[in-house]
Structure 1
Amino acid sequence: MRKFRKLPLLCTIIAAMGASIFNADAAQSKMAKPPAMSEPLTSKDLVKLYGNHSWIWKDGAGYFAVKQREFKAWTGEGAGSYGTGHWFVTDPGKLCFKAMWYAKTGKADALTCFSHRKKGNTIFQKREPNGEWYAFKTSPGSASDEYRKVQAGDYATARFDRMRTKLSPTR
C-alpha cells in the first residue's frame, strides 16, 4: 500500500515534465515507425549530442554533465519540481536519465528514455516506450528542430538550486 501513496505525486511530476519537456512542436510530423533504412546512433554519438549540454524546455531545463554522468533538472510547471540523478546511453541508440524528482508534495523516482536513429543527415527521436518518431535534428537545421533547444553548457543548475531552495522544508 505504501508504494501507491507516491503514485499521485509521480503522476503530477511526470505530467508536468511531459507538458514542458518532452513534447516536440506540433508542427513536426510524427511517425509510428522509424524511417526505413535508418540506423541507431552509437553511444559515442549520443554522448557527443548530450554530454555537457542542457536541454532547455518550455518551462525548465535538464543538464547532462559528462563528469560522473550527473543529471540535474528543474521545471516550473505547477508549483515546480527538480530532479537529480544520472544519465546513461545504451546501444542501440538510447539515451536515458534516472532521477529522483522533488516537489512540495514529496518525491518520486522516474526513468525517462529516448531512442535515436539516423538517416542521411537527419536524426530521429522517440520517447520510450510509447512516443512517436519525429525529426529531432536536421541538416541544414530547421526552426522546428527540437535539437535547437539542446545548448552547450549548463543552463539548469542555477534554477535547479533556486527550485531546491524554494521547495526545501522551512526550519
Structure 2
Amino acid sequence: MTAFRTLLLLCIFGAISTSAIAANTVHGTMSKPPAKSVQMTAEEVFQLYYNRTWIWKNGAGYFAAKQRDFRAWSGEGTGSVGVGHWFTTDTGKLCFRATWYAQTGSAPALTCFSHRKRGNVIFQKREPDGDWYAFKTTPAKADDEYLKVRPGDHATAGYKRMRLKLSQGK
C-alpha cells in the first residue's frame, strides 16, 4: 500500500471511529462479544441506519434508503469525502464501501461494524479489531453513541462544502 493511501485511510478511519472511541471510554469495552448477546439480523441493523446520518466528531456519513447510497465527509487533516454504498449482513454487520477523495488522490475502503443485542442494549464493534461497547440502550442514556445517528440527511451539505474545498486545493 502506498504511503498516500495509508495516510488517507488513517485520516478516514480516525474520523469514523472518534465517536465510537469516546463511547467506549464511557460505557467500557469488551474484547469478546457480550455474554448472552445474540447477533442482530440484517433487517434489524437496516432499521437502525436507513435514511439516517451518523454524526462524527469531524464529519458525518449518510445512509440513504434509496439505492443504499452512502455519502460522507471528514474534516480530519486536510479533509476528505466518501461516496459509495452501504449494506447490512445476516451476521449483524453494517458495512459501507466507499471511495474516499482527498487533495492528494483517492482510495477505496470497506468499513464494517458488527451489532449484537442483549435485552434492551445494542452493542457495536468496529471490525476487525475494535472492542464491543454499548451503542444503544432503551431507554436511551445521555452518552449513547446512537444519539449521534439522526433521522434525515445531515451529511450532504458538509460533503458539498468539503468537495468544493478539495477541488480548490485549500
Establish whether TM, by shorter chain, passes 0.5. yes
Provide the rounded CA distance (Å) in 1 between the counterparts of 2:166 and 2:19.
20
Q: Higher helix fraction: Structure 1 or Structure 2? A: 2
Q: CA RMSD in A?
A: 1.7
- Amino acid aligned to 1:82: V
Give the TM-score normalised by the residue count of structure 1. 0.91
Hey, what's the Cα distance between the residues in 2 that align with 1:120 and 1:42? 15
Query: Is the contact made by 2:15 and 2:58 (CA closer than 8 Å) also made in structure 1?
Result: no
What letter is aligned with 2:2?
A: F
- Quick one: percent identity of the two aligned structures? 58
In structure 2, what residue type is equivalent to 1:4? T
Deviations 1:92-129 (A, max 9, x none): 10110011111111111111000000000100000000
Residue 15 of structure 2 is matched in structure 1 by: 17
- Contact kept? 1:6, 1:107, Cα under 8 Å: no
Separation in structure 1 between the aligned mates of residue 132 and residue 70 of structure 2, nearest angstrom: 24
Question: Is the Cα contact below 8 Å between 2:9 and 2:107 reproduced in 1?
Answer: no
Q: Please name the residue that 2:57 is paired with.
A: 58
Q: Counterpart in 2 of 1:109?
A: 108
Is 2:35 the partner of 1:36? yes
**How many residues end up aligned between the 2 structures?**
168
Instruction: Say whether 1:7 aligns with 2:5.
Output: yes
Structure 2 stretches lacking a partner, 5+ long: none
Please give the TM-score of this superposition, normalised by the length of structure 2.
0.91
SS of equivalent to 1:23: helix
Which residue does the alignment assign to 2:135?
A: 136
Alpha-carbon shift at residue 11 of structure 1 (Å) = 3.8
